[in-house]
Amino acid sequence: MRRYSDEEVVASNFSLIQCRPEGLYRGAQHRNDSIQDGYGLVSLPVYVINLDRDVERLINIRASLQQLGIPFTRFPAFLGTDIPDRWTSDFGRDNPMGAGQIGCYASHLQVIANILETDETARVILEDDCELSADFAEFLADIPEQLPEDWDIVRLSPSLKNLKRPVRRIATLREGRGLYIYSRPPSNAVGYIINRRFAEHFTKPVERRVSLDAHFRYLTLFGDLTCYGVYPPPVRQRASIPSSIDRVGRKTVSIRHRPPVGSVPDRRGFALRDGRA
């Protein structure tokens, strides 16, 4: 995996570790302190998943977040051929997913798992091809107080091809948005909020032979996890920017039937079809 030189980083005007809107930090030494002292509006830490080679994407998402006054931390995404040893047994050999999908899934897994190594109670996770609403900073400031006690994950983005509507409003949010329960969660991981309980359950060792999107739709496989959604969504995938994190060696894995609650799907539970048109 290519690592950019200091000169490239400086020339592109971003940090590969933390991207900070100028003027928002007041000399704080710790990132959580800097968010609280330097901004005061967004209390949830924001993480952006981005491949080292996708410099332009990082510049774009950094500009969007900077315009909204939101500091964030970049997480360098994994290639499917170079994932941490911690996850190799989960994906195993002869996995029907392509290398790109495995790298994407492992990247999200690591960002989710990392919350357990911090004192954070929740975090926002975004992919680098997302489009944010104009009130995203205000939304992030409000949402912690609006969430029910039983929440584990909040989906912020719909499927690009199928804007699924949630079915039952739980709370009313700003800008005409609502917090809902989905009848069927969207197959999209462009933006979401998770807490520590979600991380503890979702990162337990398990066979992972379908995409992250598929597992996000069947969270009962990982325990009694509660999913909520926001509609209209504050995060969308940019239609003009195809995802590159899961593009390499991509295949499509679809579920033929819903796996039994509490079970782990095996190859017989999924149909593999070539994702190339």
Give the model confidence (pLDDT) of 71-121 as tens digits. 999 999 999 999 999 999 999 989 999 999 999 999 999 999 999 999 999
pLDDT over threshold 60, residue 273: no
Question: Which of 79-88, 164-173, 214-223 has maximum average pLDDT?
Answer: 79-88
**pLDDT (0 to 100) of residue 1:** 38
Whole-angstrom distance, CA of residue 273 vs CA of residue 250: 11
**pLDDT (0 to 100) of residue 19:** 52
Residue 76 vs residue 231, higher pLDDT: 76
**pLDDT (0 to 100) of residue 20:** 45
**pLDDT (0 to 100) of residue 75:** 98
Decide if 107 contacts 189 (C-beta within 8 A): no
SS3 69: coil
Q: Class of 6-249 per CATH? A: alpha beta
Q: Give, in order, the Cα–Cα distances in Å from 245 to each of 8, 101, 104.
A: 21, 7, 6
**pLDDT (0 to 100) of residue 175:** 82
- Find the Cα–Cα–Cα–Cα dihedral 130, 146, 215, 114, rounded to 10°: 80
Confidence of residue 187 (pLDDT cuts 50, 70, 90): confident
pLDDT over threshold 90, residue 203: yes
Residue 48 vs residue 271, higher pLDDT: 48
Q: What percent of the chain has pLDDT above 90? A: 57
Decide if 141 contacts 193 (C-beta within 8 A): no
Instruction: Report pTM.
Output: 0.76
Whole-angstrom distance, CA of residue 21 vs CA of residue 41: 14
Question: Which of 28-32, 158-162, 206-210 has maximum average pLDDT?
Answer: 206-210
Confidence of residue 196 (pLDDT cuts 50, 70, 90): very high
Q: Which of 50-64, 134-148, 185-199, 230-244 is predicted with the least confidence, judged by mean pLDDT?
A: 230-244
Stretch 171-199: mean pLDDT, rounded?
89
**pLDDT (0 to 100) of residue 252:** 42
